[in-house]
């Protein structure tokens, strides 16, 4: 299979892990058993954002387990909007939604934000429901 | 009967019409939604990191305020508020250590005693009023209107806080049948509308709105019914923007279930606040003769 090329973010690429550390940090944050995943792809089959993702959700899990920390540069972890479809369907009862959150948290807790509030146009600020802003800020700003 | 009601931010701004129509139908059914005192933001999205208790503070504080008012039930209209309040409630009921930590952290509030039930207004209508009762009160059936139920995420997942089956929900279709409408089914009814990406990925959300709606239109749907204010914005506003992206595509009107009940019960259409929508929801209702032409 052709290796996927994920564009690098300078700040995120500075985060360094020793072997096994990335998986451990994810597990500590989400409490999920990543090693239980047998790569069936059910999570990816039902994901509403799959067409826009650079890595599929099951690939994300595999990347974490294989110490491929470039997973942190993946667009996938920010596209996940925590709709819980994958978590609901996983035959191994792994809450993938929480794994995506753990990856976002690993970045955000190192003071690297995904969203800059000043970039949101004024007109959009006036019409979009507040629940969208609170959600986005909680997901994309540390 | 008086019901304590938690509004949340959006019900006071872009979804005033959801609140107003819900108040009107509650009254018509012999109940009164009473806004709770001192409510604050619910937090909107539940904390998904095991160590992040801070984000349970906002929902927990609101649950404490419900107990402070001598109540053990609170009704919500917003799907996101409902989901977040339910998830925190469940977490502290199941993890006493977390509850102790959170109670100890809050100085000004009373300790939470885990006595509150969070109820979505839709659940209240189904379980306590009964759709059969609503059916008997229908004066203005939505006859001949083909409507697709759209559930989105927060009513159905995670399953621990769901108000219906995660894969085969039927609460909206049961309600539509009671109101006399025709139900158009669609596999995208349980897929995410794009949620908060409406801020940072609005084209993606327009594509989602198009996918969800277009499939329903191809099956003959003339409108969509839903309950979440963010889903309404995304399907309605971003759906309208999708017209520029897809040749020949025309966004169909979006209704809150409360508006359809209000119309079917022949309440004053003013309570529906249809002018808060982008695609005019009154045209279809007038065309079908369920709303008077004025």
CA distance A130 to A136: 10
Of A83, A132, A140, the CB nearest to B198: A132
Cβ distance of B78 and A133 shorter than 8 Å = no
Of B48, B166, B199, the CB nearest to A128: B199
Longest dimension (CA), chain B: 60
Interface TM-score (ipTM) > 0.85: yes
Summarize pLDDT for B63-107 with one digit per residue, the tens: 999 999 999 999 999 999 999 999 999 999 999 999 999 999 999
Rounded to 5 degrees, φ, ψ at B200 are -105, -10
Cβ distance of A84 and B14 shorter than 8 Å = no
Q: What pLDDT is recorded for position A2? A: 57
CA distance B156 to B114: 23
Q: Does B54 touch chain A (CB under 8 A)?
A: no
Q: Does A29 touch chain B (CB under 8 A)?
A: yes
Structure token digits, residue B103:
């109670």
Of A28, A83, A132, the CB nearest to B192: A83
- Residues in B 110-169 with any Cβ partner in A closer than 8 A: 153, 157-159, 166-167
For domain B139-287, say whether CATH 3.40.50.11810 is its number: yes
Q: What pLDDT is recorded for position A7? A: 78
Q: In angstroms, what separates the C-alpha of A76 from chain B's closest C-alpha?
A: 13
How high does pLDDT run on average in chain B? 97
Give residue limits of the domains in chain B.
2-121, 139-287
Cβ distance of A131 and B51 shorter than 8 Å = no
Q: Does B200 touch chain A (CB under 8 A)?
A: yes
Which residue of chain A comes nearest to B234, CA vs CA? A128
pLDDT in tens, chain A (142 residues): 556 777 788 899 999 999 999 999 999 999 999 999 999 999 999 999 999 999 999 999 999 999 999 999 999 999 999 999 999 999 999 999 999 999 999 999 999 999 999 999 999 999 999 999 999 999 999 8
Cβ distance of B49 and A101 shorter than 8 Å = yes
Q: A128: which chain B residues are within 8 Å (Cβ-Cβ)?
A: 14, 198-199, 233
Cβ distance of A81 and B14 shorter than 8 Å = no
Q: In angstroms, what separates the C-alpha of B177 from chain A's closest C-alpha?
A: 27
CA distance A11 to A109: 13
Summarize pLDDT for B168-220 with one digit per residue, the tens: 999 999 999 999 999 999 999 999 999 999 999 999 999 999 999 999 999 99
Q: In angstroms, what separates the C-alpha of A140 from chain B's closest C-alpha?
A: 10
In the three-class reduction of DSSP (H, G, I as helix; E, B as strand; rest coil), residue B256 is classed as strand
Q: In angstroms, what separates the C-alpha of A42 from chain B's closest C-alpha?
A: 14
Of B48, B201, B237, the CB nearest to A101: B48
Q: What pLDDT is recorded for position B294? A: 64
Summarize pLDDT for B230-270 with one digit per residue, the tens: 999 999 999 999 999 999 999 999 999 999 999 999 999 99
Cβ distance of A132 and B233 shorter than 8 Å = yes
Q: What pLDDT is recorded for position A3? A: 60
CA distance B185 to B182: 10
H-run or E-run covering A108: helix A96-108
pLDDT band with cut points at 50, 70 and 90 for residue B58 = very high
Domain B2-121 carries which CATH code?
1.20.1050.140
CA distance B287 to B192: 30
Which among B123, B121, B194, B191 is positioned nearest to B152, based on CA atoms?
Answer: B191
- Residues in A 99-138 with any Cβ partner in B closer than 8 A: 101-102, 105, 115, 120, 124, 127-136, 138
Q: Does B11 touch chain A (CB under 8 A)?
A: no
**pLDDT above 70: residue B119:** yes
**pLDDT above 80: residue B7:** yes
Name all domains of chain A by residue range, CATH numbers in brackets: 17-110 (1.10.1060.10), 115-142 (no CATH)
The distance of Cα A53 from the centroid of its chain, to the nearest Å, equals 10
Q: Evaluate whether B223 touches B147 at the Cβ level (below 8 Å).
A: yes
Which CA distances in Å does A97 have to A67, A78, B25, B267? 20, 11, 36, 42
């Amino acid at each position: 299979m052709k290796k996927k090329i994920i564009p690098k973010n300078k700040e995120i690429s500075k985060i360094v892990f020793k072997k096994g550390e990335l998986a451990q940090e994810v597990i500590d944050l989400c409490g999920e058993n990543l090693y239980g995943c047998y790569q069936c792809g059910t999570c990816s089959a039902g994901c509403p954002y799959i067409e826009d993702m650079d890595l599929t959700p099951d690939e994300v899990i595999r990347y974490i387990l294989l110490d491929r920390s470039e997973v942190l540069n993946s667009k996938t972890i920010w596209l996940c909007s925590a709709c819980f479809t994958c978590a609901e369907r996983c035959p191994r009862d792994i809450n993938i939604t929480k794994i995506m959150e753990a990856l976002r948290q690993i970045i955000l807790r190192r003071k690297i934000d995904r969203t800059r509030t000043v970039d949101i146009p004024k007109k959009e600020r006036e019409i979009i429901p507040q629940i969208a802003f609170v959600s986005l800020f909680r997901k994309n700003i540390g | 009967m008086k019901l304590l009601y938690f509004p949340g931010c959006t019900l006071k701004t872009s979804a005033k019409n959801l609140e107003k129509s819900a108040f009107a139908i509650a009254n018509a059914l012999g109940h009164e939604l009473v806004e709770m005192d001192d409510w604050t933001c619910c937090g909107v999205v539940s904390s998904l990191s095991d160590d992040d208790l801070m984000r349970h503070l906002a929902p927990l504080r609101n649950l404490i305020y419900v107990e402070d008012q001598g109540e053990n039930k609170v009704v919500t209209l917003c799907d996101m508020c409902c989901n977040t309040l339910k998830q925190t409630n469940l977490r502290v009921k199941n993890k006493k250590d977390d509850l102790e930590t959170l109670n100890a952290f809050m100085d000004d509030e009373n300790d939470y005693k885990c006595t509150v039930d969070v109820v979505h207004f839709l659940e209240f209508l189904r379980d306590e009023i009964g759709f059969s009762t609503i059916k008997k009160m229908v004066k203005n059936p939505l006859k001949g209107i083909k409507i697709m139920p759209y559930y989105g995420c927060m009513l159905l997942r995670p399953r621990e806080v769901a108000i219906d089956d995660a894969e085969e929900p039927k609460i909206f279709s049961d309600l539509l049948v009671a109101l006399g409408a025709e139900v158009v089914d669609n596999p995208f009814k349980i897929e995410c509308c794009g949620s908060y990406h409406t801020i940072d990925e609005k084209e993606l959300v327009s594509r989602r709105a198009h996918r969800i709606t277009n499939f329903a239109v191809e099956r003959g749907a003339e409108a969509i019914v839903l309950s979440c204010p963010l889903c309404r914005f995304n399907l309605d506003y971003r759906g309208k923007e999708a017209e520029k992206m897809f040749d020949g595509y025309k966004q169909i009107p979006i209704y809150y279930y409360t508006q359809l009940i209000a119309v079917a019960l022949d309440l004053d259409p003013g309570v529906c606040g249809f002018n808060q929508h982008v695609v005019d929801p009154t045209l279809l209702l007038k065309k079908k003769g369920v709303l008077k032409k004025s």
